[in-house]
Amino acid sequence: MTEKNLLKLRATDTDDLAIISTFLQDAVIAVNEMTFLKKESRFAFVANRFRWEDADRERPVEGDPIYERVHCGICFDTVTAVRQNGLDQQRKAQVVSLLSIVAEDGFIDLAFSAGITVRLEVEKILCHLQDLNEPWPTQWRPSHPLED
């Protein structure tokens, strides 16, 4: 894999952010690695991202690992405040899965597994995502049961 294969995206509106949300669905994040840098108006974290963009490609050799994950840095700028709901302050080392990112006027909600929501109050949408290193193989593809 070369540097040109590493994902690097920027979001400045709700449509852009929906694309980033798709790429980050099922990313795994340690809660204690999320940080709000108040003086910089930035909220940032590193995620273990499932590579959805590569999940359906053909594998040249039978038995090759069929999926990949990669470390990915994400930052949201113009953040004025951060609020959370459902986060157990005694379990900051817990690992959660990012389910979605949704923006409304003046805020961005990050919905995680375990019923956790982190709300970023923002002046405007400005988000950057960048893969940080080479992907590694995994046999596991995230799945979500369909509701009746």
Domain assignment present for residue 97? The answer is no
Distance CA 1, CA 134 (A): 7
Tell me if 81 sits within 8 A of 117, measured CB to CB. no
**pLDDT tens, position by position, 44-53:** 999 999 888 8
How does pLDDT run across 121-134, given as a tens digit for each residue? 999 999 999 999 99
List CB contacts of 140: < 8 A, sequence separation 6 or more: 67
Residue 11 lies in a domain: yes
How far apart, in Å, do the first and last CA atoms of the chain sit? 41
Its domain, for residue 76, covers 3-56+63-91+102-138
Number of compact structural domains in the chain: 1
What is the pLDDT, as a whole number, of residue 148? 47
In one-letter notation, the amino acid at residue 121 is: E
pTM attached to this predicted model: 0.85
pLDDT of residue 1 exceeding 50, the answer is no
